[in-house]
Amino acid sequence: NTHIEKNIIEITTTISSMDKKMEAFTKRIEEVEHHIGDTEDSIHNVDSSIQDLQTKIGWLQDKADDLENCSQRCNLRLVGLPEGEEGKDPVDFLEDWLPSFLNLPDQYKIEIERAHCTFAPRSGDANKPRMILFKLLRFRDKEMLLRQARKLGSLTYKNKPLYLFLNMSAESFQRRKSFNRVKRLCKDLDIPFALLYPSKIRMTLNGVKK
């Protein structure tokens, strides 16, 4: 009996020690669970903040793109004019040449604030002249030039194709460029279309504009 009692005491002591350890482990687990809960709440708040920031960044990017386009609303790009054709004063050249080239009325005069070739290095290939950027003094003059260019259709100068484009931000340019395949399909299928500012395409199907 003494031997059994001694063993029982040792077992009881061991169980008591294990109980204390389990109590300590339970307390630590509760603390860890509490910290995990706090961390999850923090992560949720961070996720919400990131989503808000992404929304604001997207809005700011769209705003900056719109402001950049507004600052260039009177600008046009002339592509295909032979290198050096504009001479030393591109402003005077364009003011005199563009109205007659686009068959504008004799009394119609345009005023250009500034004009210059792009800053790309001059190419030795005559078929790849640098583009000319120019800013018109009045917005309605820009609209008139584009409208007349569309009316004339294909433009050529000295047997070379010539193009007149809007000048816009790189983002808007890439968006409009994404329609290139669609525009080719519309031409192949004889579907009338127009590319609207800033980057929408309008097609006329069975007399209905889409």
Please say whether the beta carbons of 175 and 129 come within 8 A: no
**What homologous superfamily is domain 74-167 in, according to CATH?**
L1 transposable element, RRM domain (3.30.70.1820)
Predicted TM-score (pTM) of the model is 0.65
How many CB atoms sit inside 10 A of residue 35's CB?
10
For the chain, give the mean pLDDT.
88
CA dist., res. 41 & res. 47, Å (int): 10
Look-up: residue for tokens 């003059």? 141
pLDDT at 122 over 80: no
pLDDT at 114 over 90: yes
pLDDT at 120 over 80: no
Once rounded to an integer, what is the mean pLDDT over residues 124-149? 89
Quick one: pLDDT band at residue 133, thresholds 50, 70, 90?
very high
Once rounded to an integer, what is the mean pLDDT over residues 71-90? 91
pLDDT at 125 over 80: no
Write out pLDDT tens, residues 161-179.
999 988 888 888 888 889 9
Closest among 91, 83, 97, 82 to 116, alpha carbons compared: 91
Once rounded to an integer, what is the mean pLDDT over residues 116-122? 82
Write out pLDDT tens, residues 30-57.
888 888 888 888 888 888 899 999 999 9
Q: Which comes out higher in pLDDT, residue 112 or 42? A: 112
pLDDT of residue 2: 83
Assign residue 153 a region (left: φ > 0; alpha: ψ between -120 and 50; beta: otherwise).
left
Both tokens of residue 2?
A: 């003494």
pLDDT of residue 107: 84
Assign residue 182 a region (left: φ > 0; alpha: ψ between -120 and 50; beta: otherwise).
alpha
* Cis, peptide link before residue 198, omega less than 30° from 0: yes
